[in-house]
C-alpha cells in the first residue's frame, strides 16, 4: 500500500483542498493520509504527496522540485512545503518525491476525479 500524504493547513484559505480530498478519494493500492506538518512524512518509503500548488491550471505530477516557484523567505512563516522538500533533497535526506499538485481554485469534485485518474496511472509506475 502506497501512502499519499495530503498536505494542507485547515486555517489558511486556499490550502485545504488536499485535506478535503483525503476524505473522498479511494484508489486501490493507495492510502490517503492527512498531514498537517511535513515532518510527519515517512521518507523511508516511496513518497507521494498531494498538495495545493499555486500557478498551475490542472492536476499534475511534479517530480522536479526545482520547477516549484521560489520566493524570498523573510521569516520562518515564509518557509513553505516546497522549500522544505528542496532542503531535504539538498541535504541528501531524500532522493525522490512524487508531488501531485492541485490548483487551489479547482472544485473539489473535479479535483477528485482528476487525482483518482492520475493515481491509477501512477500505480503502474511506482
The model's pTM: 0.83
CB 112 within 8 A of CB 22: no
Residue with cell 500557478: 55
Burial of 41 (0-12, 13-18, 19+ CB in 10 A): buried
pLDDT mean values, one per 10 residues, the chain (126 residues): 89 89 94 87 80 88 65 42 75 82 92 95 83
pLDDT of residue 67: 60
Question: What is the domain partition of the chain in residue ranges?
Answer: 2-123
- DSSP bridge pairs for 35: 7
Look up the CATH number of domain 2-123. Answer: 3.40.50.1450
Amino acid at each position: 500500500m502506497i501512502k499519499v500524504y495530503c498536505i494542507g493547513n485547515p486555517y489558511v484559505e486556499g490550502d485545504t483542498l488536499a485535506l478535503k480530498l483525503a476524505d473522498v478519494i479511494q484508489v486501490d493500492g493507495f492510502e490517503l493520509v492527512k498531514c498537517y506538518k511535513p515532518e510527519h512524512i515517512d521518507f523511508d518509503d516511496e513518497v507521494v504527496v498531494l498538495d495545493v500548488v499555486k500557478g498551475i491550471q490542472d492536476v499534475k505530477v511534479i517530480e522536479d522540485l526545482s520547477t516549484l516557484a521560489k520566493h524570498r523567505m523573510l521569516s520562518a512563516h515564509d518557509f513553505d512545503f516546497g522549500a522544505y522538500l528542496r532542503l531535504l533533497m539538498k541535504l541528501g535526506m531524500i532522493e525522490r518525491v512524487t508531488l501531485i499538485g492541485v490548483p487551489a481554485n479547482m472544485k473539489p469534485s473535479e479535483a477528485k476525479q482528476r487525482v483518482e485518474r492520475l493515481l491509477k496511472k501512477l500505480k503502474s509506475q511506482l
